[in-house]
């Protein structure tokens, strides 16, 4: 439809129809595909598969990713996942240590309190 030869009503109708069309789905990137397969990639690593074997498995079903790209993305994803788990575990450890402190014992507040507590214990 040509803009110059259209009436205002036709133009508005055409614009509404164009805007109402469904959005074209985004193409799934290679990295996004591997991110969605993260649990399976972790399981494969735990089962002892090498990156070469995992890459070959994906090639066999038609997922064509160059090996160096696959290796880079999988290494990044697994390292990120490992770091997140380590952070979570450290946080749990800190909370266990904190919760293990005797709640009835209150720590002295401020430097003066610490000094007075220290001087009282020395007398």
- Terminal-residue alpha carbon distance, the chain: 97
Alpha-carbon gap, residue 58 to 75, rounded angstroms = 16
Q: What is the mean pLDDT of the chain?
A: 79
Alpha-carbon gap, residue 15 to 12, rounded angstroms = 5
pLDDT above 60 (res 98): no
Examine residue 20 and state whether it is found in any structural domain, yes or no.
no
Examine residue 41 and state whether it is found in any structural domain, yes or no.
yes
Examine residue 24 and state whether it is found in any structural domain, yes or no.
no
What's the number of domains the chain is made of? 1
| pLDDT, tens digit, 9 for 90 and up, residues 42-84 | 999 989 999 999 999 999 999 999 999 999 999 999 888 877 7
Examine residue 122 and state whether it is found in any structural domain, yes or no.
no
Examine residue 115 and state whether it is found in any structural domain, yes or no.
no
| pLDDT, tens digit, 9 for 90 and up, residues 11-28 | 888 888 888 888 888 888
pLDDT above 90 (res 108): no
pTM > 0.85: no
Which CA distances in Å does 78 have to 34, 59, 87? Answer: 11, 20, 14
Full residue range of the structural domain in which residue 57 is found: 30-89
How many other C-beta atoms are found inside a 10 Å radius of the C-beta of residue 54? 20
Examine residue 117 and state whether it is found in any structural domain, yes or no.
no
């Amino acid at each position: 439809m040509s803009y110059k030869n259209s009436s205002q009503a036709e133009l508005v109708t055409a614009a509404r129809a164009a805007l109402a069309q469904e959005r074209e789905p985004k193409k799934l990137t290679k990295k996004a595909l591997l991110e969605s397969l993260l649990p399976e990639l972790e399981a494969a690593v735990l089962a002892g598969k090498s990156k070469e074997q995992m890459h070959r498995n994906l090639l066999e079903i038609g997922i064509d990713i160059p090996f160096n790209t696959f290796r880079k993305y999988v290494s990044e994803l697994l390292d990120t996942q490992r770091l997140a788990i380590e952070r979570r575990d450290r946080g749990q450890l800190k909370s266990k240590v904190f919760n293990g402190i005797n709640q009835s014992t209150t720590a002295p507040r401020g430097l003066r309190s610490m000094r007075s507590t220290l001087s009282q214990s020395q007398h």
